[in-house]
Each structure stands twice: as C-alpha cells, then as structure tokens.
Amino acid sequence: MSNFVKTLAAWGPWGIFLLAILDSAGIPLPAAVDALLLVIAATDRADAYFAAALASIGSVTGSMILFFIARKGGKAYLDRHTMEGRGALFREWFLHYGLLTVFVPALSPVPTPMKLFVICAGAMGISPLSFFLTVLAARIPRYFGLAYLGSKLGEGAWGYLMQHKWEILAGLGLLFALLYAGVNILERRRLALKREAAQ
C-alpha cells in the first residue's frame, strides 16, 4: 500500500484526487491526503489550491460512494459495522447528534473517526443532498486551510499541526457544542412556530 501511495504522490494534484476518493470511500489511509496536500503546497505553491480543490472533490466523491454503499446495504450493513465496541458507541452518537458527527471529523485536520458516521448516515436514510452539503462544507475549509498552511510554513507545516493538535481538537469540540446548541434552538423555534400555526 505504501508503494501505491508513493505512486499517487508522484502524480501531484491528480494523485491527491484519487487518494482522496479511496480514503473517503473506506480504504484506510489515515492522514495520507492531508500529508500529501501539505507536501504539494510546500514544494509547488502554484498547485497548492488546485490540489486543495481536487482533494475536496475527491473526498466528497469517495464519501458519497461509501454513503450509497451503506444506503443500499441498509440496516444489515449498519448492524455489521456498528453492533459492538466503538462502532456501537458511534452509532449512538449519530442517533443523538446527527450530521454534526460527520461535519466535525470531516473538518478536522487531526485524524478523527468519520467512516462509521458516514455508514450511519447512509444506512439510516439521511438525505443524500444534506449529507453531500455537510461533507462539502467541511472539506473545503479543511483542505484550502491546509494548502495555505503548507504554502506558508513549507516542510514544517505537518509538525506545526501535530504540535497544536490538542488546541485544534479543543476548538473543534467547542465548535461542535456551539453548532449543537444552535441546531437545538432552531429546532425548538421551528416546533413552536408549527404549534402556533396549528392553533
């Protein structure tokens, strides 16, 4: 697998496009897309944002592939992946927090679990458009942010991320809490307006 990743790396931005598809479709390649994007941004700044765009498109494409595989497999596919251990915990989180469990890991440049949440979204009948927009809204700032970081810090970009991973995770946790609170407020207002209209 490492030789295959090295081959894709030699293809530059188009290699990162294929790597992002494979990674998001379920093939375990932890942090490979992020690392390659930082390398491209550090060594060829002219291609940094083109590579970020292809990484975003590739990642959304791969995520949709996994989403529709889970959607076709339905409850049986979901049970196979989420009946025990960590999978069962992630399933409970998805039931409670919905697509926020997809958005925050998709946004995080620090490796965080996402694929089981994608499986939950597909198998539990979430709208494909809602899922698509959620992943896209997370991947664009993530990959363009990494391209900017790589072009500014060069080879030290990955080290910078790792040195600040706990601050990044804390910030993502705060973002998750704020978004969850906001979603709840909007939902309560929607239900209140619906009750008023029904009276």
Residues 46-64 have pLDDT tens digits of 889 999 999 999 999 999 9
Alpha helices in the chain (DSSP H): 2-10, 13-24, 32-43, 48-82, 85-97, 100-107, 115-123, 128-153, 157-163, 165-198
Instruction: Dump pLDDT digits (tens) for 94-121.
Output: 888 889 999 999 999 888 888 889 988 9
Q: Is residue 81 within 8 Å of 87, Cβ to Cβ?
A: yes
| Rounded Cα gap, residues 101 and 117, in angstroms | 6
pTM of the predicted model, to two decimals? 0.83
Q: What is the pLDDT of residue 5?
A: 59
Three-state DSSP at 156 gives: helix
Q: Which parts of the chain register pLDDT below 70? A: 1-6, 8-9, 81-85, 199
